[in-house]
Amino acid sequence: MRVGILTGGGDCPGLNAAIRGAVYRARKYGYETIGFRDGWKGARDGLTMPLDAVGLAHAGLRGGTLLGSSRTNPFAQEADAEKLLATLTRERIDALVAIGGDDTLSAARELHRRGRPVVGVPKTMDNDVGGTDWTFGFDSASTVAMDALERLRDTATSHHRAIVLEVMGRHAGWVALATGLGGAADVTLVPEETYDESSLLAHVKSAVAARGCALVVVSEGIDLPVSQGSTGGQDQFGHELLRERGVGAEVARRIEAGTGIETRSAQIGHIQRGGPPTLFDRILATRLGAKAVDLVHERRFGTVAVLRGERVEGVALEDALKAPKTVDAAWLDLLHTFDA
């Protein structure tokens, strides 16, 4: 078999470990592997690169993706879809492993609907792909954000200030939740809950009264109307670029205006997506990459390799993509146990 591999959408730590897992497992089956550069763009335009196990021995230690990535939607226009199908035929691809988030996996589902053999691997720092307990990239990104919060705590303590940290995550609050819980924030605002300013101000005041400072974590996707940020345009899949809204800075302005407490804000942006993967992400990505090739070997096309409890399994792409995974009531209950 000749197996094509691509990584699409926003990069995250763990992608190289997933590629390595897939390539080494393919070697075990005696399959050939070939990389497509820059996500669906490379698969559409025939941009390939050799992928062999020897060259990938240490690939899993690094962040980013050695294949490159893009937010190209190969089904945005029918002409692009035809180019993609022609490329897969010309490159003699017997099976494609598509590593990505909801958008990349939706394109994989469409490819499967058009009769091509494809298997998915979920990744994203947002942790919002359905069907899997966790996505790799999330643990690494949240660990970076938690470290940022701890650094901000030093300054907040020294200057008796409130400091707001804005984190990514799109319309799911997983990164904010993990950062707030792991880093002991006084308040954490997630998109799954309605913005409540009076409760926010009360918690900030009480934290400052008790400890002399307040740390607030804000997810970029909260439903706060922004006065100074821009809407930032959209990507090829129609997603608004949320960080351009600057909700963290807006929340800081509102805290200072509503409490009189000197307040600052920080937005760490893509710093969250870079750097070496954590151990958890290295292991998860390695397992899912290898599992994807097992699914190819079993000819279970139209599936995605997922983590369920301690096991990696294959589930139908159709099922995994039914709804994005957002923070549920039990997690919110735990989060609010620690409100200031």
- Count other C-beta atoms under 10 Å from residue 246's C-beta: 21
Residue 155 Cβ vs ligand F6P, minimum distance, rounded to whole Å: 25
Burial (CB count <10 Å: 0-12, 13-18, 19+), residue 53 = middle
User: Which part of the chain contacts ligand F6P (CB under 6 A), choosing from 50-58, 120-128, 149-157, 287-295?
Assistant: 120-128
Binding residue for ligand F6P (CB under 6 A) from 81, 242, 252, 290?
Answer: 242
Residue 290 vs residues 253, 295, 298: alpha-carbon distances, Å: 48, 9, 13
Taking the complex as a whole, the smallest distance from the CB of residue 10 to ligand F6P amounts, in Å, to: 4
CB-wise, 166 or 256, nearer to ligand F6P? 166
Q: Specify the stretch interacting with ligand F6P by CB under 6 A; choose among 122-130, 255-263, 297-305, 330-338.
A: 122-130
Shortest Cβ 32–ligand F6P spacing (Å)? 31
Measured distance CA(60)–CA(66) in Å, rounded? 10
- Determine the Cα–Cα distance for residues 126 and 134; give it in Å rounded to an integer: 10
**Binding-residue pattern over the window 205 to 224 for ligand F6P, x denoting contact by CB under 6 A:** ---------------x----
Name which of residues 154 to 193 contact ligand F6P (CB under 6 A). Answer: 168-170
Who contacts 86 (Cβ-Cβ below 8 Å, separation ≥6)? none
Answer yes or no whether residue 325 interacts with ligand F6P by CB under 6 A. no
309: tokens are 């409890």
Nearer to ligand F6P, 8 or 314 (CB): 8
CB of 114 to ligand F6P, least distance (A): 26
Question: Could you confirm whether 333 is annotated as catalytic?
Answer: no
- Is 14 a binding residue for ligand F6P by CB under 6 A? The answer is no
Q: What is the DSSP string of 304-337?
A: EEEEETTEEEEEEHHHHTSS-----HHHHHHHHT
- Interaction residues for ligand F6P, span 60-99 (CB under 6 A): none
Catalytic-role residue among 126, 139, 186, 281 = 126
Region near ligand F6P per CB under 6 A, out of 13-21, 119-127, 249-257, 301-309: 119-127
DSSP β-ladder status, 162-167 and 187-189? unpaired
Minimum distance between the CB of residue 270 and ligand F6P, rounded to whole angstroms?
Answer: 6
Are the beta carbons of 12 and 126 closer than 8 angstroms?
Answer: no
Q: Which strands, in side-by-side order, build the sheet including 263-267?
A: 187-189, 214-219, 162-167, 263-267
Q: Which residues of 12-49 are buried (b: 16+ CB within 10 A; e: fewer)?
A: bbbbbbbbbbbbbbbbeeebebbbbbbbbbbbbbebbe
**Cβ atoms within 10 A of the Cβ of 266, count?**
18
Q: Which of 273, 282, 287, 291 binds ligand F6P (CB under 6 A)?
A: 273
Residue with tokens 């494809």: 118
Nearer CB in complex with ligand F6P: 124/265: 124
List of residues contacting ligand F6P (CB under 6 A)? 10, 101, 124-126, 168-170, 220, 235, 241-242, 273
Give the active site residues.
126
